[in-house]
Chains A and B, each alone.
Chain A
Amino acid sequence: MAKKECVTKCKGESSMLRNRRGELQIGEPKSPVSTHHESTQDSSKDNRLSEGDDQSSNGTLAQYDHNVYSPNNETQSTVYFLVVVLLSFSTRFYKIKEPPHVCWDETHFGKMGSYYINRTFFFDVHPPLGKMLIGLAGYMTGYDGTYPFLKPGDKYEHHNYWGMRGFCASLGSCLPPFAYLTVLDLSQSSTAALISAAMLVFDTGCITISQYILLDPILMFFIMGSVLCMVKFNLQISRPFSAPWWLWLVLTGVNLSGALGVKFVGLFVILLVGLNTTWDLWRLLGDLDLSLVDFGKHFLSRVFGLIILPLFFYVTIFAVHFVVLNKSGPGDGFFSSAFQSRLIGNNLHNASMPEYLAYGSTITVKNLRIAGGYLHSHWHLYPEGVGAKQQQVTAYLHKDYNNLWLVHRPNDSNGEPDLVRHGDVIRLEHKETTRNLHSHRHEAPLTKKHFQVTGYGINGTGDPNDLWQVEVCGGRKGDLIKVLRSKVRFLHRATGCVLNSSGKTLPKWGWEQVEVTCSPYLKETPNSQWSIEDHINTKLPNISLAVLKPHFIEILLESHIVMIRGNSGLKPKDNEMNSKPWHWPVNYQGLRFSGVNETEYRVYLLGNPVIWWLNLLSLGLYLVMVAAASLALHRGVQLDKRRIERCRVLREGGGLLLLGWLLHYVPFYTMGRILYYHHYFPAMLFSSMLTGITLDTLLQSADLVLDPPYSYWLFKGGKAMLFLTILYSFYLFNPLSYGMRGPLAHDPASTMAGLKWMDSWEF
């Protein structure tokens, strides 16, 4: 069987060479001379010879076939490519300025672009590259960062928004050309490439999502870029370590870091490239002509190009992010005290406060786990059935006057401002509500193994359950407690448990703040360690504190944990209609980008249903075809060369694209976070490319049922039909992207009347 595999593979290679004949005829004399390629070279030569024999024996028919099905001369594919580029840019840039108001998520990403221009620190669940590029594009085109991007529907008026939109659109316009080149390289068929590109060019969904200030066009640009470079790199198989080999390797790496730098969805394409590389290395390892040293070179160069280099770029992106954003802004509270002290305008920047914790001070207490909140309480009780019905105590990530606590002695004697020491028993009174921090033997609301923490008492008088012993981690009895720098634990006197923040988000009744508990497990973890952040005591002298400047790696790690936690915190609300992954491939429901009512200018993000359903159909078709092809090869059915070549394209090229589709689609089923329709678009790109290969192969296989001249007509006719269908469907559905006015589609007077094919579409 192994032998058989080898034969098909060699044939595959040879036919690939054949297809690039124009190129090779010039290149042949200086084809690689390294010894370990001789065998491949030989076999390909053999094959070429036998192919020549075939052609001569079959005479004109074979020649004819060759011209019909692989019209792969350079000029034609160049012309096709130019047409694709032209169409792509013109569809994306048409009406780019419409509507002149904030649409959908522009309110977030536009705002974040402005933050970069204003150098204000903010927090977002996505890595920074996309927003940085948007900010840069805005800056270059004269946007001054003053527009507030408050809510969708706000008019832009005199602000220069088109630069940012144009930037996103130009990246979005690159997708069809990239698809064209990728499919051309995978299948060596310009028809397949053209079908794929047409599917993307005329898809209303792809147009709409490319036209606004969003992360998706940038993300998809990098995803497609990586795939294209990877495919190009694969083509260099016979010329390892040559200049183009290195070029494509490095470019793949750069695109990967770009994809990951925009959204974490980029991980899926990294996985795709990773699997492809593993397969490639596996192949090289099995090549016994290749010495282990050479294999080591291959391995290390890939580690460099696909791991180290992207990692370096990725880290650089963050470095730029932190250097650019140096002013205090809305995202401060998510980060540690040390981090905040870097930001101009933050109260910890060049802070001055009393150095040691003292009785009578007003303080804020911050949890030391990464993205741990401030100890917080407010005028709301725990609901019925959740422990004792006393006041809630939570951890809160934003700066707020409800985070302020007063430090008291157990027996409130207001004397001299004495300093608090390790081992002292204190009482913490919430400044706003005058309740004491309290715990008792009731189950905590979420972490049932822990005890509940509440606010109890009034005006500072409570009961013995309000007493906490302060301990500095690693300290001894009598040690003073340094503001900001000491890691402090609060041990509950009565039950012996330790104040702890579990990191779990409370339900609605707790305002989705973070749970605070008292843990009977005394192991020292960051969850149970706190630091004193603000410290106000008028009776003590303030001294300037040079807070430990955090290391860059620490900041990087911290911001990642904050982002991941933020991402998983985006849970669907109970009564909100949320999108399910199975909705997406069937184009079940789109997203309103702008406008709801009849009077408004409406843009609706929805894929061109003809294209999307064709994609869905092709997926099924592909599986059937590849199963048939694999069975035929596995059973050793005798096939002619052209068909074997098609089987190879179907299995290898198609397999790669199918894998890409699966990797970008299936993981969403396991995600707990809220999902939206536009999450499917990266997968849709792969699906469209797969459709190109599938339909092309299907049309070319027409000669299975018909004799040559008719099968050729069927091929041509099918192709023409396909393109006409795509064009006509675009003609029908283009108002989805380019804006609709007037009555909604269920009204016969509407421009979209009769096009609401599914009841769930909202236009």
Chain B
Amino acid sequence: MSKRNEHTPNQTCLKQRGTMLSSIKLPIVIRAEINLVLVVLTALGVFSRLYGIHFPKAVVFDEVYYGQFVSLYMKRVFFIDESGPPLGHMILAFGAYIGGFDGNFIWNRIGAEYSSNVPVWSLRLIPALAGSLSVPLCYILVVELGYSHLTALGATLLFLMENSLIVQSRFMLLESVLIFFLLLAETMVLFVSYVFGFHSFNVGFTLISKLCSCPRVKYMGLFTYLLLLGLAAVHMWQLIGDRALSNVSSGAADCCLFISSVILVQVLTRFLALVVLPLLLYLGFFYVHLTLLYRSGPHDQMMSSAFQASLEGGLARITQGQPLEMAYGSQVTLRSVSSKPIPCWLHSHKANYPIRYENGRGSSHQQQVTCYPFKDVNNWWIIKDPGRQDLVVSSPPRPVRHGDVVQLLHGMTSRFLNTHDVAAPMSPHAQEVSGYIDFNVSMPAQNLWKVDIANRETEQEVWKTILSEVRLVHVKTSAVLKLSGSALPEWGFRQLEVVGDKIYKGYQPTGVWNVEEHRYGRSQEQKERELELHSPTHIDINRNLTFMAKFLELQWRMLTVKQETSEHKYSSSPLDWITMDTNIAYWLHHTGNAQIHLMGNLVTWSLGNLALMGYLLLFLSYLLRRRRKIEDIPEDTWRQLLLAGVVCAGGWAVNYLPFFMMEKTLFLYHYLPALTFQILLIPVVLEHVHTHVLCTSHRRALHGAVLAGLSSVYLTFWKFSPLTYGHPELSAEQLDSLRWKDSWDVLFRRH
């Protein structure tokens, strides 16, 4: 099985390598040599990542999370995932597509056995391929940084024997894809900037732009993208300062002409390639995403009515064929535009406000009006002309416009929507809203409402289904019907409170409503009307939202969805990651002790930390000494060291530090992209120390240390490989001996 797959990556790799090298114009002999090493490394990568990926045939950790999206993709059902842009899900779904997955699997429990219709192997294939191709990329990246092939070999070996990266590549998870694209983007930028130099950019930059947009598998990729942009900006600045490229006539003080056209073209090209093209690609992915997912699904409720109406099924099924314009006599459900705390509809029911609340304040004791998050026949209201008695739509229908005064009659209980100068139950500064009951206590009905269409600039003055966002302004008190955000206690069935807000200002989504379901009322009698309200709506129109409108709404929702910050059994804090004080149990055999853990190679992690510290030390000492004009190393070496620092140490920093500011549940696997760059730094620092710091006699010692380090990395890798591959099964004692840190969770059953 693995044999079949070895071909493809090797060939592509060879091809890539070939084109690059021909442009570098190295002697042919060397090319063959490099290829051989790369081929072997790639083969090792493929073997280590792809070997037996169909095992275990059960849901492993976050597969339960991504799996549901893959299923939804296969069924073309719309969803929102705030963790990242859709490209990652699309890539996973592509694997499912190859395997012919029909999407029929219930992703509800980690460890659940896959049914026979799930193509486990092909689902896991793409992340595993991405993981294996990262191996040669590491090699190329280090060479591209200007270090020797031996160093590159060292980096690749460390990368190859990193247990955590292997585990993360072998399942249907996105990190390996992210790492692959990060490495690819960095490699391409270096390749173009330093091999082609400043002057040829046409070919190179189109390449880069493609790759730069790819880190958008997850939003974390954004930071690396910014790092690369920064790198490009620095180059740009040097370019601008390059007087050789200028044609400034001396003494020309005119500010507008001091940049020559050559530079202008360069700047523009780079801007196009690095900013505009990635943006277009990003939009493109969303376009594909929205085109593929056209059916309604579980996340519909988070979107606006208009968006939902554009999806097949769901709201579209209900609203298809609704009349567009409100008329006097229309029967409607009013949905709050605000989806906080949850989307809900204006509601009333046969229960009154209690005469006295718990805190002793009094109420009007009239019928409760609430906001209810479920579809219900009690959500129906009838728009009535205050001047007339009838509740049916005349023919032709008389449309309701901005500024008209209406009454709202509750369909099932025939109470008028009313508000008055009585403090609302939970928000005493606002007015109570009730269904009016005349108790003969000199509390007259105040049930006139003015229709105020908030988006009348874009959607005209007539009140329309779904499209119009309407404020209902009470005529007598000028209070605005509004969702207060708090929930009523037991007597209000914990539904959401609706109030009249007198000091309402600006545009607040809580005070704006839109009509979701709508039909023209035809029955004058109450009994008939109740029957009518129970029947589904149907008449006809069809509408479409433009792609940009859908994209903007989706993007906004993705960024503002409240993320769950609750802790998970295996969640950890960024501080735990550096020293790997935590691990994640991915899978445990349901009877035996076979198990898979996300657990790194502790030796590599420590070496990485040492390398980082070493680099900083070297960098700082060189920096200070250079400032005093003491040049220990040649200028070129210094540049090389700087570049390696920006790419590796910088890559580590931008992929790690932002997590300290994030308020979401974090796991060890979030550290893996940063770790990748840290691993690359190890041999870079070693080579520098070897060539420029140590004298000949000490170099021997270093060789020995490197060999010892590599072999201990290998031994550790081998020792932990049962937890990486889930095979072979270990005994309880063996497992216990693998618990090198107290804080690690290793599960075992004692027999």
> Is residue B484 within 8 Å, beta carbon to beta carbon, of the partner chain?
yes
Residue pair B255, A448 in contact (C-beta under 8 Å): no
> Is residue A3 within 8 Å, beta carbon to beta carbon, of the partner chain?
no
- Closest beta carbon of chain A to B236's beta carbon, Å: 11
Inter-chain contacts of A761 with B (CB < 8 A): 505
Residue of A with least CB distance to B569: A448
From A282, A635, A759, B505 is in contact (CB under 8 Å) with A759
> Is residue A631 within 8 Å, beta carbon to beta carbon, of the partner chain?
yes
Instruction: Give CA–CA (A637, B568) in the complex, Å.
Output: 60
> Is residue B253 within 8 Å, beta carbon to beta carbon, of the partner chain?
yes
Residue of A with least CB distance to B237: A634
> Is residue B27 within 8 Å, beta carbon to beta carbon, of the partner chain?
no
- Closest beta carbon of chain A to B219's beta carbon, Å: 16
Instruction: Give CA–CA (A286, B443) in the complex, Å.
Output: 84
Contact A447-B567, Cβ < 8 Å, known A285-B628, A635-B246: yes
Residue pair A637, B663 in contact (C-beta under 8 Å): no
> Is residue A79 within 8 Å, beta carbon to beta carbon, of the partner chain?
no
Inter-chain contacts of A636 with B (CB < 8 A): 243, 248
Residue pair B569, A670 in contact (C-beta under 8 Å): no
> Is residue A413 within 8 Å, beta carbon to beta carbon, of the partner chain?
no
Interface members, chain A 628-670 (any B CB < 8 Å) = 628, 631-632, 634-640, 670
Residue pair B506, A759 in contact (C-beta under 8 Å): yes
Interface members, chain B 548-590 (any A CB < 8 Å) = 566-571
Residue pair A631, B485 in contact (C-beta under 8 Å): no
Inter-chain contacts of B486 with A (CB < 8 A): 575
> Is residue B661 within 8 Å, beta carbon to beta carbon, of the partner chain?
yes
Among A449, A523, A574, which residue has the most Cβ atoms of chain B within 10 A?
A449
> Is residue A672 within 8 Å, beta carbon to beta carbon, of the partner chain?
yes
Residue pair A446, B566 in contact (C-beta under 8 Å): yes
Residue pair B624, A631 in contact (C-beta under 8 Å): no
Inter-chain contacts of B566 with A (CB < 8 A): 446, 448
> Is residue B258 within 8 Å, beta carbon to beta carbon, of the partner chain?
yes
Inter-chain contacts of A1 with B (CB < 8 A): 241
Inter-chain contacts of A282 with B (CB < 8 A): 627
Main DSSP-derived SS at the A contact region = loop
Residue pair B253, A286 in contact (C-beta under 8 Å): no
| Interface size, B (range) | 35 or more
> Is residue A760 within 8 Å, beta carbon to beta carbon, of the partner chain?
yes
> Is residue A424 within 8 Å, beta carbon to beta carbon, of the partner chain?
no
Interface members, chain B 233-275 (any A CB < 8 Å) = 237, 240-241, 243, 246, 248, 250-253, 255, 258-259
Instruction: Give CA–CA (A523, B744) in the complex, Å.
Output: 12
> Is residue A26 within 8 Å, beta carbon to beta carbon, of the partner chain?
no
> Is residue B503 within 8 Å, beta carbon to beta carbon, of the partner chain?
yes
> Is residue B743 within 8 Å, beta carbon to beta carbon, of the partner chain?
yes
Residue pair A575, B485 in contact (C-beta under 8 Å): yes
From B507, B627, B743, A285 is in contact (CB under 8 Å) with B627
- Closest beta carbon of chain B to A455's beta carbon, Å: 23
Residue pair B742, A523 in contact (C-beta under 8 Å): yes
Residue of B with least CB distance to A523: B742
Residue-wise, chain A 613-636 has the 8 Å CB interface mask toward B (1 for contact) of 000000000000000100110111
> Is residue A762 within 8 Å, beta carbon to beta carbon, of the partner chain?
yes
Instruction: Give CA–CA (A471, B484) in the complex, Å.
Output: 51
Residue pair A672, B253 in contact (C-beta under 8 Å): no
Residue pair A521, B742 in contact (C-beta under 8 Å): yes
Instruction: Give CA–CA (A282, B620) in the complex, Å.
Output: 13
> Is residue A323 within 8 Å, beta carbon to beta carbon, of the partner chain?
no
> Is residue B629 within 8 Å, beta carbon to beta carbon, of the partner chain?
yes
Residue of B with least CB distance to A643: B253
> Is residue A288 within 8 Å, beta carbon to beta carbon, of the partner chain?
yes
- Closest beta carbon of chain B to A665's beta carbon, Å: 16
Interface members, chain A 735-763 (any B CB < 8 Å) = 758-762
> Is residue B341 within 8 Å, beta carbon to beta carbon, of the partner chain?
yes
Residue pair B240, A635 in contact (C-beta under 8 Å): yes
Inter-chain contacts of B248 with A (CB < 8 A): 635-637
Contact A631-B258, Cβ < 8 Å, known A1-B241, A762-B505: yes
- Closest beta carbon of chain A to B234's beta carbon, Å: 13
Contact A286-B627, Cβ < 8 Å, known A1-B241, A670-B661: yes
Residue of A with least CB distance to B562: A574
Instruction: Give CA–CA (A575, B341) in the complex, Å.
Output: 8
- Closest beta carbon of chain B to A627's beta carbon, Å: 11
Contact A637-B258, Cβ < 8 Å, known A1-B241, A521-B743: yes
> Is residue A124 within 8 Å, beta carbon to beta carbon, of the partner chain?
no
Residue pair B255, A628 in contact (C-beta under 8 Å): yes
> Is residue A51 within 8 Å, beta carbon to beta carbon, of the partner chain?
no
- Closest beta carbon of chain A to B460's beta carbon, Å: 22
Residue pair B505, A638 in contact (C-beta under 8 Å): no
> Is residue A479 within 8 Å, beta carbon to beta carbon, of the partner chain?
no
> Is residue A443 within 8 Å, beta carbon to beta carbon, of the partner chain?
yes
Interface members, chain B 640-673 (any A CB < 8 Å) = 661, 663
Residue pair B253, A638 in contact (C-beta under 8 Å): yes
Residue pair B259, A760 in contact (C-beta under 8 Å): no
Instruction: Give CA–CA (A331, B68) in the complex, Å.
Output: 50
- Closest beta carbon of chain B to A157's beta carbon, Å: 27
- Closest beta carbon of chain B to A257's beta carbon, Å: 27
Residue of A with least CB distance to B487: A575
Residue of A with least CB distance to B658: A670
Instruction: Give CA–CA (A704, B253) in the complex, Å.
Output: 10
Inter-chain contacts of B252 with A (CB < 8 A): 637-638
From A292, A449, A575, B484 is in contact (CB under 8 Å) with A575
- Closest beta carbon of chain B to A758's beta carbon, Å: 8
- Closest beta carbon of chain B to A281's beta carbon, Å: 10
Inter-chain contacts of A446 with B (CB < 8 A): 566-567
Inter-chain contacts of B484 with A (CB < 8 A): 575
Instruction: Give CA–CA (A631, B50) in the complex, Å.
Output: 53
Inter-chain contacts of A672 with B (CB < 8 A): 663
Residue of A with least CB distance to B504: A759
Inter-chain contacts of B253 with A (CB < 8 A): 637-640
- Closest beta carbon of chain A to B719's beta carbon, Å: 24
Residue-wise, chain A 283-304 has the 8 Å CB interface mask toward B (1 for contact) of 0011010001000000000000
Residue pair A443, B569 in contact (C-beta under 8 Å): yes
Residue pair A288, B571 in contact (C-beta under 8 Å): no
Interface members, chain A 546-566 (any B CB < 8 Å) = none
- Closest beta carbon of chain B to A696's beta carbon, Å: 19
Among B237, B255, B486, which residue has the most Cβ atoms of chain A within 10 A?
B255
- Closest beta carbon of chain A to B575's beta carbon, Å: 15
Residue-wise, chain A 494-537 has the 8 Å CB interface mask toward B (1 for contact) of 00000000000000000000000000010100000000000000
- Closest beta carbon of chain A to B133's beta carbon, Å: 36
Residue-wise, chain B 486-514 has the 8 Å CB interface mask toward A (1 for contact) of 10000000000000000101110000000
Inter-chain contacts of B505 with A (CB < 8 A): 759-762
From B251, B259, B627, A635 is in contact (CB under 8 Å) with B259
Interface members, chain B 612-648 (any A CB < 8 Å) = 624, 627-629
Inter-chain contacts of B503 with A (CB < 8 A): 762
Residue-wise, chain A 563-582 has the 8 Å CB interface mask toward B (1 for contact) of 00000000000110000000
Residue of A with least CB distance to B240: A634
Instruction: Give CA–CA (A521, B259) in the complex, Å.
Output: 65
Inter-chain contacts of B661 with A (CB < 8 A): 670
Residue pair A638, B246 in contact (C-beta under 8 Å): no
Residue pair B241, A634 in contact (C-beta under 8 Å): yes
- Closest beta carbon of chain B to A436's beta carbon, Å: 27
Instruction: Give CA–CA (A574, B338) in the complex, Å.
Output: 14
22 pairs from A and B in contact (CB 8 Å cutoff): A285-B624, A286-B627, A288-B628, A446-B567, A447-B567, A449-B567, A521-B742, A523-B743, A575-B485, A631-B258, A634-B240, A635-B248, A636-B243, A638-B250, A638-B252, A638-B253, A639-B253, A640-B253, A760-B505, A760-B506, A762-B503, A762-B505
Other A-B pairs, 12, CB within 8 Å; known A286-B628, A448-B569, A635-B246: A446-B566, A575-B484, A632-B255, A634-B240, A635-B241, A635-B258, A635-B259, A636-B248, A637-B253, A637-B258, A758-B506, A762-B505
- Which residues of B are in contact with A by a Cβ distance under 8 Å? 237, 240-241, 243, 246, 248, 250-253, 255, 258-259, 341, 484-486, 503, 505-507, 566-571, 624, 627-629, 661, 663, 742-743
Q: Which 7 A-B pairs have the closest CB atoms?
A: A575-B485, A759-B506, A448-B569, A670-B661, A760-B506, A638-B251, A635-B258
